[in-house]
Amino acid sequence: MIVEPAPAKINLALHVRSRRDDGYHEIETLFAFLQDGDDIRLADGPASFSVEGPFAAALAGEGDNLVTRAARAYAEAFSRPNEGALTLVKRLPVASGIGGGSADAAATLRALAKRDGVPLDEPRLFAIADALGSDVPACLFGRSALGRGRGEQLEPVDGLTGMPVLLVNPRVAVSTGPVFAAWDGRDRGPIGEGALLGRALLSRNDLEAPARSIAPVIGEALALLLDGAGTRLVRMSGSGATCFALYDRPEDRAAAARTIATVRPSWWCLESALA
């Protein structure tokens, strides 16, 4: 069996520059990956798909999803039978702005490539990822980077490996489409130059305001994180509703997690570190 991680991805910055004629948006984003997330398991056998894990129920009854589409597209691109038993271990909440289905699709492509001895930098893998969705190439790339265009034009950036991070989601699913549709259309400028954390601190997430108009509880999550000691950066990731804080010390991360578990015990929290 091949077990391929599908780590959570957070947007340290997300600038929306313009609406495009093809229905997408021109963006700039700085992103990084966590050491924790979902897993894809690939075993020999006929083509099949199953889900397990804490958030499996959210995907119950789906006839098709990014994992199965990735497997079919891989088989077609590499002229292979569509075979293999795929299991998604779903530990991350769905529609939460931290990669999710895109990370799962990218992990599926990596698992199939490893099974077949296909190099992970094979251009056909990235062509498949690009066709599956704007976020899938970033997740296939799998390292801290600056993304432009729809997010698929990738430039690696030295990361913040090992930096403690706390993710918080108020268990509200927020769909990407309505958040982008609610963006006010104002270009507030590009992401600046410099080291990753410094660039992030001087940047923003242009989708925070429209996401908060749809799910006001995002504001409460950000406020709780900002109240904690030792935060270096507090921000909403992607189109929400997951918010995160970066810390210098794991002790401060743990203290913040305990506070949130006390005041909002129903919320989802993940203590992790940047990969």
**Which is nearest to 44 in space by CA: 5, 80, 76, 2?**
2
**Residue 89: which region, alpha, beta or left (left: phi > 0; alpha: psi -120 to 50)?**
beta
Choose the catalytic residue: 38, 39, 104, 135: 135
The angle at the Cα of 20, spanning 15 to 24, to the nearest 5 degrees, equals 70
Strand partners, 243: 168, 236
| Residues 157, 196 contacting (CB under 8 angstroms) | yes
Cα–Cα distance for residue pair 155/122, rounded to 1 Å: 17
User: What is the token pair recorded at 171?
Assistant: 């268990």
Q: DSSP character for 146?
A: E
Active-site residue 206, yes or no?
Answer: no
Strand partners, 146: 30, 155
**Which is nearest to 37 in space by CA: 2, 74, 4, 80?**
4
Active-site residue 9, yes or no?
Answer: yes
User: What is the token pair recorded at 174?
Assistant: 């927020």
What angle, rounded to 10 degrees, do the helices at 101-116 and 66-77 form? Answer: 30
What angle, rounded to 10 degrees, do the helices at 66-77 and 123-132 form? Answer: 140
Choose the catalytic residue: 9, 38, 206, 252: 9
Ranges of H-type helices in 133-248: 136-141, 176-181, 196-201, 208-214, 217-227
Q: DSSP character for 121?
A: T
Q: DSSP character for 98?
A: S
Active site residues per annotation: 9, 135
